[in-house]
Chains A and B, each alone.
Chain A
Amino acid sequence: MHELGITQSIVDAVLDAIEEPRITRLQLEIGKLSGVVPDSVRFCFDLVASGTALDGARLDIVEPPGRGACRSCGHTCEFDDPIVLCPCGSADVQVRSGRELKITAVDVG
């Protein structure tokens, strides 16, 4: 389960960036096409955050949908599935969003 390693990277990155002694909320962006399961990250978070400035912090996860443009017909479509199919039948879709895996904000104090 790579979510444990990913969650560890998230916690490390936040602690690197923020020097405050107590972080009360962490906001992430995990796109629907990112290959990372938000529920697994939630499951790992308490464990990994324990004993750090993030201990007890609330975790908010925003999940941007997949969005892309079909190279065959030009149609722009939304999809939540990593198998991307345009209504025209083409699988050749250029993905514009949905692959996000980012830390976007924290609350401190």
Chain B
Amino acid sequence: MCGTCGCSDADGVRLNPEPAAGSVPVRTIALERQVLAKNDVLAAKNRIWLREKGILAINLMSSPGAGKTTLLENTLRELGSTIPIGVIEGDQETLLDSNRLRAAGCRAVQINTGAGCHLDAGAVGEALTSLDPPDGSVVFVENVGNLVCPALFDLGEHRRVVIASITEGEDKPLKYPHMFQAAHLVLLNKIDLLPYLDYDVAGFSGNARIANPSVDVVPVSATRDTGLEGWHEWLRANLTQVLTA
């Protein structure tokens, strides 16, 4: 196979069969199209929209139940009075998460993906319009609970935060490297459960850095308010960066 120009494929040189009389001969047309081009165009649009309004958008990803909504509820309680916060909730079904956040006093829009296992830039663009977040705010996009597909889809966000919880085991960064490679920050949640589990926090951080050598790991408990200063600091610093960029 010629890997340089892609002139043939795994079957090697191939003769196209003689076209039947009267039929059109086979022609090969070279194309150069990114498969995700459509999504990437919409993501770029979202990015421009966010930049014009000076909004920091954060894509929050984890396996189901790692604590995304709990962390958001906590963040609203702690920072909601100083930073305007809006949330786009992605789940396959139900309004449960957006209702939880509205109950916490937050603007929230729910996207239900049905069979879909991730959010895409098109759905997020529509949700941004309907959320109508104020200038200078932070918008969290809680992605569908899934460590595989969301890593592939650019939503136009500025930062990607991955939450892992200690009940999932230390090996997740090695088993789902794409997700951890995409992360700007990893929050290790549910550390209040450390006394009940055989869990190696340093081992997890080491694995996260094998997948992504530059990533920071911040151990937290969203239910017990542990370690969250580091998260708040990171958030404020990134908001300043985006607003002054």
With both beta carbons as reference points, the residue of chain B lying nearest to A109 in the complex is identified as B24
Chain A residue with the shortest CB-CB distance to B35: A101
A50 within 8 A of B: no
> Does A13 lie at the interface of the complex (its beta carbon under 8 Å from any beta carbon of B)?
yes
Contacts of B117 in A (CB 8 A): 1-2
Q: Pick the most buried of A24, A35, A92, A106: most chain B CB atoms within 10 A of its CB.
A: A35
A102-B35 in contact given A5-B116, A60-B10 (Cβ < 8 Å): yes
Knowing A36-B152, A91-B213, the reply to whether A62 touches B9 (Cβ < 8 A) is yes
In-complex Cβ contact of A13 among B10, B33, B151, B181 (8 A): B33
Q: Is A76 an interface residue (CB 8 A)?
A: no
B34 partner, pick from A60, A101, A109, beta carbons under 8 A = A101
> A18 touching B29 by the CB < 8 A rule?
yes
B148: interface (CB < 8 Å): yes
On chain B, the number of residues with a Cβ less than 8 Å from chain A's Cβ atoms is 42
B residues near A35, Cβ cutoff 8 Å: 148, 151-152, 178
On whether the beta carbons of A109 and B30 are closer than 8 Å, the reply is no
- Bound-state CA distance A29–B121 (Å) is 23
Counting contact residues on chain A (CB < 8 A from B), the size range is: 35 or more
In the bound complex, how far is the Cα of B120 from the Cα of A2, in angstroms?
Answer: 11
Q: Considering only CB atoms, which chain A residue lies closest to B116 in the complex?
A: A5
Given the known interface contacts A36-B152, A109-B19, A109-B24, the answer about A102 and B210 at a Cβ–Cβ threshold of 8 Å is no
Query: Which A residues are CB-close (under 8 A) to B16?
Result: 107
Q: Is B96 an interface residue (CB 8 A)?
A: no
Contact assessment for B28 and A9 in the assembled complex, using a CB-CB cutoff below 8 Å: no
Chain A residues with CB below 8 A from B178, complex form: 35, 82
Q: In the complex, which of the residues B3, B32, B120 contacts A102, with contact meaning CB atoms closer than 8 Å?
A: B32
In the complex, what distance in Å separates the CA atom of A94 from the CA atom of B27? 38
